[in-house]
Copies of this chain bind each other. A is one copy, B any other.
Amino acid sequence: MATLEDLGVSAFINIVGAFAFLLLFAVLRIQPINDRVYFPKWYIAGERKGSRSRSGARGVGKFVNLNLWTYLTFLNWVPGALRMSQSEIIQHAGLDSAVYLRIYILGLKIFVPMTTLALLILIPVNVSGGTLVDLRKEIIFSDIDKLSISNVSPGSQRFFVHLLMAYLFTLWTCYMLYKEYDNVAFMRLHYLASQHRRVDQFTVVVRNVPHVHGHSTSQTVEQFFQRVHPDHYLSHQAVYNANKYAKLVKQKERLHNWLDYYQLKFDRNPEKRPTTKIGFLGCCGQRVDAIEYYTERISQLDKKIAIERERVLKDPKAIMPVAFVTFDSRWGAAVCAQTQQSKNPTQWLTEWAPEPRDVYWQNLAIPFVSLSIRKLLISVSVFALVFFYMIPIAFVQSLANLEGLEKVAPFLRTVIDIKVVKSFLQGFLPGLALKVFLYILPAVLMIMSKIEGYISLSSLERRAAAKYYYFMLVNVFLGSIIAGTAFEQLYSFLHQPPTQIPRTIGVAIPMKATFFMTFIMVDGWAGIASEILRVKPLVIYHLKNMFLVKTERDREKAMDPGSIGLPETLPTLQLYFLLGLVYAVITPILLPFILIFFAFAFLVYRHQIINVYNQEYESAGAFWPHVHSRIIASLLISQLLLLGLLGTKKAAYSTPLLIFLPVLTLWFHSYCKSRFEPAFRKYPLEEAMEKDIMERAAEPNLNLKAYLADAYLHPIFHAFEDEEMGQVRVDKGESHIASPIRSENNSPSPPHYVYHYEFEA
C-alpha cells in the first residue's frame, strides 16, 4: 500500500496535469479560430455570428488572439460559469441541464458536512485507536491506514463512534435526498406549468393498433378514438415506415459530401479536373471524372428517392400500427395517456408522446410480444456483458498476439522482428483490445437499449446509463476491491455464504483506499480538466474546416456542440457517490478528494452547459428518479459493507444495531418512490385543467387542429415540405389534415435529423 508520500506524488502529477489542460484551454479558447468549438451554444442561440469577423480584427487577428492581456488570467472562465443564475440556465439550456448540475450540488451538500464531521471526529478516533500503533515494529503499514478504521483494534468500544457516524451519515444523506427530490419535482412541475404551448402536451402515442379487416390503420384509429374519447379526440397522425427512405437520403448525402469535396478541389486547382475510380472504395476500377460521376449518381439516386417517397406515402402497408393521437385539450391527452383503452391490454397501448425531436422513429412499430422477448434477450445479454465481458476480450487478445499477426500478414514479419517494435507491440496489443472495448462500450449499450424498443431518445439514454452503471459497479468498484474478473467474483459469490460476501469485500475496502484516491485524481481531476479542452471536437472541426467548409453555413454544420452524454456521465457520477458513501466511515481521508471532484466538475460542466452543449431533447428532469435510486443503492451497499467489516472486527453488538439501517433506507426509498415518482411519470389532471382554462381564456380563437397538424411527421419528410408537401400528402386516410401549414412548435426538425437533409437543401 502506498504511503502518504506516494499519494502526494500522485496528487502532484495529476494536479500538474489538470493545470496543464486548463492552461491549454485558456490559450485555445480565446483564439477566434476556435470560437465555434468552445462557444457553439451561443451560435445556436443566435447570439454570435460569423466568429472571425467578430472582433473586427483583420489579417492574422482573425485567427489568432493578439491581445496579450487576455493570456494572463487562465481561470477567467470560472466567474463566467458561475454568473448565470439557475433560472437563466433553464432558459438558456433547458431544465435537463439545470437538473443535471444539481447532482453536483447534491454531492457537495451531502459530502461537505460529512467530510467535516468525519475529519473532526473519526480521524482522531482512528488515529488514537491503537492496534497498528502497538504493532509498529512488527508489521509495515501505510500512513493512510493509521487514519482509517483498520487502525482501531478488534473488539474496541470505539466502534460505537463509527456506528453513530453511520447513522448520522445515513440520516443526513436521506434528508438531503428527500429535500432534493422535492426540489427537483417542484422544478419539473413548475417548468411544465410555465411552459408555452407544446405539441407533446396534446399528443399521445398509441402503439399496437390492431389490424381490422377492410379498414386502413388510419380508419381504425379514427373510429376507435371517436368512439372512446368522443369529447376530446381531435385528430391523429399516421407513422410511416420511412426507414428505407431515410437510408437512401443518407446515401445521397454521402455522395453529396464527395461531390463537394471534388468541387472544392477543382475550385482551388482549376487546371486539373479531379478523377476517381468507380470500384470498391474508390481504390480500383475505371478512372472517371469525379464531378461528373457524382453528379450523375446523385441524379440517379434522386429518382430512386422520389419513387420511394411516393411509395411510402401511397402504400397502405407503409403505415405502421402506431399513431400520434392529438386531443383538443391537455386534459384529454392526460386522460388518454394514463388509462387503459382496450379490453385487450396488449392493444391500443397509450403513453405520453415524447417531444417530436425526442422520438426514436425506428422503434415505433415493434409489436407487444416482440418487445417482451427483446427485453428478455437484452437482460440476459447485459448480464453476460457485465460478468463475462473478459471472455471475448481474452479471445481477441489471444488472436492479436505477434504470432497471430505474423500469420495473417506475413509481409509485416520484417517490421515485427525489430526488437523495439516487438516489445512495444507485445505490451500494447493485449491492452488495445480492452481499450477498444471500453471505448465502444457506451455505444454498444446504446444499441442494446435501442433493441429493447424504447421510443424516445431520452428513455434510451436513461436505459443505457442504467446498464453502464451495472457495468461500473461490478467491474470498476467490485473489480478493483476484489482482484479477479467479474466472472471469478460471480463464481466465488455463488460459493460463499451470503453473510460472508460483505465480509470479504468489507475487509478489502480499507486496503483499496489509496487506489481509489489515485483513481479519483486521474479520472475525476485530470479527466474533468481534459473534458473542458474538447480535444476530439477541436480536431474534427479544424479538419472539416480545412477540407469541406466553403460558406459560413458549412462552418455551422461542421460545428459539433455535442450534449452532456448522460449514458456516460450519470454512471460515473453515481460511482463517485458510491465511493464517498462507502469510505465515509471506513477511510474518511478519501472524502476531500471526492469533494474536490464535485466542486471542480460542477464548474467545468456549468461552463460547458452554458457555452458548449446543445441539448437534443427536453425531458424536464425525467432522469432524477434514477439518480435518486442509485444513490440509495450506494447507501445500501455502504451499509452492508460496513456490517461485513465490523463483523470481522469482533464488534458483536454492531450487527443488531446496523441491521436497521438498510431496512430504514429501503423504507425511505419506497416512501420517496410513492411520494415523488408520480410527478415524473404522470401528468396530474389538475395541472392539465388549469393550463387548458388559462389558454382558453387567453386565446379563445386558437386553431389547435392547424397547430397540431404535421407536428409528428417523420422528420425526413420535412425536407421536401416547402416544395411539394401540399400536393403529395392528400388522400392517405381521411383523418390527418393535408395542410401545408408548417406547425410552429419550438423544434420543428430535431438537430440530429437536420444533419441528414440540410445537406441537399
Q: Give me the interface of A with B, judged by CB distance under 8 Å.
A: 189, 224, 227-231, 334-335, 338-343, 345-346, 348, 368-369, 372-373, 375-376, 380, 493-500, 663, 667, 670-671, 674-679, 682-687, 689
Contacts and interface: CB of A to CB of B under 8 A. Distances in A.
A682 B495 contact: no
Nearest to A334: B339
B670 A340 contact: no
Q: How many copies does the complex hold?
A: 2
A189 B344 CA distance: 10
A448 B265 CA distance: 82
Contact of A495 (B230, B346, B497, B685): B497
B228 A686 contact: yes
Contacts of A228: 685-686, 689
Given A372-B674, A667-B376, A689 B340 contact: no
B343 A189 contact: yes
B343 A671 contact: no
20 contacts: A227-B689, A228-B685, A334-B339, A335-B335, A338-B338, A339-B339, A339-B685, A340-B684, A341-B685, A343-B684, A346-B674, A369-B671, A372-B667, A372-B671, A373-B667, A493-B498, A494-B498, A494-B499, A495-B497, A497-B497
Contacts of A676: 345
A608 to B, nearest CB: 33
A348 B686 CA distance: 10
Nearest to A679: B345
A372 B670 contact: yes
A345 B495 contact: no
A342 B497 contact: no
B497 A682 contact: no
A342 B498 contact: no
Given A380-B663, A667-B372, A684 B495 contact: no
Nearest to A678: B345
A567 to B, nearest CB: 24
Q: Quick one: which of A369, A372, A493, A500 has the most chain B CB within 10 A?
A: A372
Nearest to A229: B685
Contacts of A498: 493-494, 498
Contacts of A678: 340, 345
Contacts of A494: 497-499
A227 B579 CA distance: 49
A643 to B, nearest CB: 12
Nearest to A338: B339
A498 B339 CA distance: 42
Given A667-B376, A670-B372, A342 B684 contact: yes
A31 to B, nearest CB: 49
A335 B339 contact: yes
Contacts of A224: 686
Contacts of A341: 684-686
Contacts of A375: 670
Given A340-B678, A345-B675, 14 more contacts: A227-B689, A230-B689, A335-B339, A339-B685, A341-B684, A341-B686, A345-B676, A346-B675, A348-B686, A368-B675, A369-B671, A376-B663, A495-B497, A496-B497
A375 B375 CA distance: 31
A346 B185 CA distance: 13
A682 B498 CA distance: 40
Contacts of A339: 334-335, 338-339, 682, 684-685
Contacts of A500: 495, 497
A342 B486 CA distance: 46
Which 7 pairs between the two chains have the least Cβ-Cβ distance? Answer: A345-B678, A340-B682, A376-B667, A338-B339, A495-B497, A494-B499, A372-B671
A654 to B, nearest CB: 16
Nearest to A346: B675
Contacts of A346: 674-675
A350 to B, nearest CB: 10
Contacts of A670: 372, 375-376
A640 B118 CA distance: 45
B496 A340 contact: no
A230 B689 CA distance: 10
Contacts of A369: 671
Contacts of A343: 189, 679, 684, 686-687
Nearest to A369: B671
A201 to B, nearest CB: 15
Nearest to A193: B343
Nearest to A348: B686
Contacts of A499: 494-495
A369 B676 CA distance: 13
A396 B343 CA distance: 54
A229 B230 CA distance: 16
A192 B670 CA distance: 33
Contacts of A496: 497
Contacts of A495: 497, 499-500
Contacts of A380: 663
A325 B373 CA distance: 41
A380 B660 CA distance: 10
A398 to B, nearest CB: 23
A553 B686 CA distance: 52
A226 to B, nearest CB: 11
A630 to B, nearest CB: 21
A369 B672 CA distance: 11
A372 B666 CA distance: 12
Q: Quick one: which of A380, A494, A678, A683 has the most chain B CB within 10 A?
A: A678
A380 to B, nearest CB: 7
A562 B663 CA distance: 39
A710 to B, nearest CB: 27
Nearest to A496: B497
A413 B542 CA distance: 104
A659 to B, nearest CB: 11
